[in-house]
Structure 1
Amino acid sequence: MSKSSVKFEILLFTVGFLFLSELKAQDFPRDTSYTVASSYAKYLKSFPEITMARAIAGEVIKEQKDLVYRDLGSRQLHVDVFSPKKIKKRAPLVVMVHGGGWISGDKSHMEELAKTLAGRGYVAATVEYRLSPEIEYPAGVQDVKYAIRWLKCQSKKMKIDSSRVAVLGASAGGQLAALVAYSSGVEKFEVEGGPDASSRVQAAVDMDGVLAFNHPESEEGTVAAKWLGGTYEEIPEIWDEASALYHVSSDDPPTLFLNSSYLRFHAGQDDVIEKLNGYGIESEVHQLGDRTPHTFWLFDPWFEPTADYISDFLDGIFKE
C-alpha cells in the first residue's frame, strides 16, 4: 500500500471518528419545529408591521456562550451569560427560560432580551433545559433550579450579587419560571448534591406562561400531556403539582406578569395574584396592547416596551 493510500485511510478514519463523536455528543431527541423565524412567518400575515427584535443599545456588554452548568454524563447542559463589560460592583442576576411548549425552543431565543438587560446593568443568563422529546417533567424544572444554583456559585467570577436574583420566562418558560419561583423547598424539584447554593429567587417575571394547567381558562392538552407524562384524566395530581398556582406561599417573590391578548396563556393568573395579595406580596400586570401575538417578546413593536416593563420592575426591587 502506498504512503498516500495510508494517509488517505488515516484521514477517513479521523473524519469518521470525529463525525461519530459529534453524533454521540448530540445523541438525544430534539424538536426544532419552533424557531424565531417560524414564529415570525406565522404572525406576519396578521401583523404585517412586525420585525424581528434586536437588542436595544446600552452599556457595552460581555458575552460568554455555551458554558457548561451541568454534566449529565450522556450530555451537558449549557448557559449563555451576558453582562456589562465594566461592572464596578456585583450586579443583579436574571435567569432566563425560553418557550416552545416544553417540546421545542432554544436558549438563543432569549438572547436579544438578555443583551438588552445586560446593557441596563444586569447579568442575564439564558438557560438550556431538557425538553419532552428527551425527558419528561420534572427534569426541566430541576435543570432551571440547578442552573440558578450554579450561577450563584459563579458570583465572584461573574460579579453576580447572589442575593438579588430574578427568574424570567416566556410561554412554557414563563410557566417554568413561576413554578421555580414559587416552589422553594420542594425536594422533588431539586437535584441532590451539585452547586452549594439555594435555588431561591427574589423576583419573577412570567411572560404569557400558564399558572394552572387544569383551569377554566386553560386550553392545555396534548403538548402539556407529552411533558407531564399523561393527560389530566390520567394523572391529575401531576398536572396540579406542575402548576405554580398550587405552590404560592408567604415567602414567594414579587412577580411581574406580561400578557399577550391570548387569554389562554394567563390561566390561573388572577388566582395567583389573589393569593399574592393575601400575603402582601407585590405583583404587576401589563398587557402589551389590545391585539398582541403570543410571542410578543420576539418582535417589534412590542420588544422595547417589554424590555422597559422588565427593567423598570426589576430596578424597583433590586437597584440600590
Structure 2
Amino acid sequence: MAAKTILNVYYDDTHQLALDLYPTRGPARAGVIVIHGGGWFRGDKRKESDWANRLNARGFYVIAPNYREGAQGHYPAPLADMDKLWDWIHRRDLPFNRRALAVVGASAGGNLAVEMALKYGIPGVSLSGILDIADWLGQHRDVIAKQGDTSNFGTAASNTINQSGANDAFYKWFITNYLPDPADYVAATPAKHVTSTSGPMYLANSLNEFVPTSGVAELSGALGQAGIPHSTRMLAGSRHGEGYLDDVFADTTGFLEHTLGLK
C-alpha cells in the first residue's frame, strides 16, 4: 500500500527545482525515477502522479522531479538537472537499495530517462521518447517549425496530450526550441553515445504518432551493436507516450522487475 506522498522537496536550491516522493508503506522493492514530458518547454512532476502511483502500488519507491524548461531549459540544462538529482538521491538516506534504481519517462521525459540509463547504467523505460534528433532534422530541412496549439498543455493529463498523429512542424519546433544551436544536434541524439556500460532499456512508440519510430530503430541498433539488452514495442494508432500506458504497464513493470533482479 502507498504511504502519503511527500511534495515539493528541493533537490536544487540554486534553480529552485523540486521533486515529489512516493514512499511505500512497507519495505520498498526498488526505486524508480519518473520524469515528466512536455517538449522541454512545459510540464510538471504533478502530472506523473498516475504512473507514479501505479508503480508505488507495486512496491517501488518513486521519485518524480521537475527540471528546467523553456528559455532556462535549453540543452543541456535538463541533463545537468538530472545529474544533480542523481547526486541528491545518493546523498540521502532514502529507504531503498541504490543498486536497485531505474528511470522511466515519456516524450521529453523519455529522452531524459534514456540519457540517464546511458550515463549511469541503470534500467530505463522510454514511451515515445524524443530520440531521433540529428538525423531527423537533417532529413527535414524543408519543414517549417510551428508551435501549434498548446493552450491546455499545462492542465491536460499526460495521457491526453498530442494524440492526433503525425505533426512534423510541431516536432521540429520543440526540438529546435530545446536545441537553439545546431552544433548540439549530434550530442543530443542518444544513439550517438551508447556505450558498453549503458543500462538495459524498454523502448515503445506508436506507429503513427507525431514522434517518429525512427528514433526507436536508431537507438535499438546502437544498443544491439554495443551488446546492451533491450526490448522494443510498436503500438498501432497515433497515441503518444502515456496515452498507451495501460497497454504497456505490465510489460514495463515486468522489465523493471527483471532488470532490477526482483524476480
* Shorter-chain TM-score range: 0.7 to 0.9
Output the TM-score relative to the length of structure 2.
0.80
Aligned counterparts of 2:73 and 2:218: Cα–Cα separation in 1 = 30
Aligned to 1:110: 48
Aligned to 2:89: 151
Q: How does 1:1-320 map to 2 (within 5 A)?
A: 59-72=1-14, 75-87=15-27, 91-154=29-92, 156=93, 158-182=94-118, 184=119, 200-216=120-136, 219=168, 220-230=171-181, 235=182, 237-261=183-207, 262=209, 264-288=211-235, 290-295=236-241, 297=242, 299=243, 302-318=244-260, 319=262
Q: Which has the higher contact order (CA 8 A, sep 6+)?
A: 2
Aligned counterparts of 2:32 and 2:129: Cα–Cα separation in 1 = 17
CA separation of 1:266 and 1:148: change in aligned 2, threshold 3 A:
farther
Show structure 2 runs of 5+ residues with no match: 141-167
Aligned counterparts of 1:127 and 1:118: Cα–Cα separation in 2 = 15
Q: How many angstroms does 1:221 deviate by?
A: 1.9
CA deviation vs aligned residue, 1:218-237 (integer Å, no higher than 9, x gap): 7442221121124xxxx2x3
Q: CA RMSD in A?
A: 2.0
Moved over 6 A (4+): none
Answer whether contact 1:82 1:123 (CA < 8 A) is retained. yes
CA deviation vs aligned residue, 1:28-82 (integer Å, no higher than 9, x gap): xxxxxxxxxxxxxxxxxxxxxxxxxxxxxxx23331111111111xx41101111
Output the TM-score relative to the length of structure 1.
0.67
Aligned counterparts of 1:102 and 1:265: Cα–Cα separation in 2 = 17
Show structure 1 runs of 5+ residues with no match: 1-58, 185-199
Instruction: Using the aligned pairs only, state the percent identity.
Output: 24
CA separation of 1:312 and 1:159: change in aligned 2, threshold 3 A:
same
Answer whether contact 1:61 1:119 (CA < 8 A) is retained. no
**How many equivalent pairs are there?**
230
Answer whether contact 2:41 2:73 (CA < 8 A) is retained. no
Aligned counterparts of 1:95 and 1:124: Cα–Cα separation in 2 = 6
